[in-house]
């Protein structure tokens, strides 16, 4: 089976029913995507498929159509994505476990809604759970990232 992840083509020998999450983590060693609940309820496994935020724990690799982007492909160490930079600036992460999924969801939101309101942020992020309760910092970071992206 062929797939492209973060711009790199891969070929994996797995069953088509295998969730993308496990292909990324176990077959390709891409561990920024996290296992949280396994039922697409927490958002820790969020990736982009052609820019759309999807839960990789419930997406069979055989059903995959499009290029996959994980947190590792969102930005680079030399040039963080605006969302990643805002997360650092606002010190969003506490335990950090959910944050890759949070950032992927936020980046997808900003690609669709460049200047979201608090209500739009809350709605878009409602399926991404944070046990540490950093929701006010997440919202502030999304506003900062939106401003950064609009400026340039």
Residue by residue, pLDDT tens for the chain (152 residues) are 999 999 999 999 999 999 999 999 999 999 999 999 999 999 999 999 999 999 999 999 999 999 999 999 999 889 999 999 999 999 999 998 999 999 999 999 999 999 999 999 999 999 999 999 999 999 999 999 999 999 97
Under CATH, to which class is 75-151 assigned?
Answer: mainly alpha
> Which residues are paired to 49 by β-bridges?
52, 68
pTM of this prediction?
0.95
- Encoding tokens for residue 66? 């499009």
How high is the pLDDT of residue 152?
75
Q: CA-to-CA distance for 145 and 32, rounded, in angstroms?
A: 20
Asked if CATH classification 3.10.20.30 holds for the domain at 2-73, the reply, yes or no, is yes
Q: Pairing between strand 52-55 and 46-49? A: antiparallel
> What residues does each domain of the chain span?
2-73, 75-151
Question: Do 2-73 and 75-151 show the same overall fold?
Answer: no
Full DSSP string of 75-118:
S-SSS--HHHHHHHHTT--SS-TTHHHHHHHHHHHHHH-SS--H
């Amino acid at each position: 089976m062929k797939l492209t992840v973060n711009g790199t083509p891969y070929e994996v020998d797995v069953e088509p029913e295998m969730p993308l999450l496990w292909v990324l983590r176990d077959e390709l060693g891409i561990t920024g995507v996290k296992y949280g609940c396994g039922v697409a309820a927490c958002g820790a496994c969020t990736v982009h498929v052609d820019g759309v935020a999807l839960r990789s724990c419930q997406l069979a690799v055989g059903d995959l159509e499009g290029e996959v982007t994980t947190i590792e492909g969102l930005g680079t160490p030399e040039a963080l994505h605006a969302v990643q930079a805002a997360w650092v600036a606002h010190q969003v992460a506490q335990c950090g476990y959910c944050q890759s999924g949070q950032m992927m969801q936020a980046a997808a939101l900003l690609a669709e809604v460049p200047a979201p309101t608090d209500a739009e942020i809350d709605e878009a992020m409602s399926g991404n759970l944070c046990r540490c309760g950093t929701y006010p910092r997440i919202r502030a970071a999304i506003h900062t990232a939106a401003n950064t992206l609009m400026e340039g």
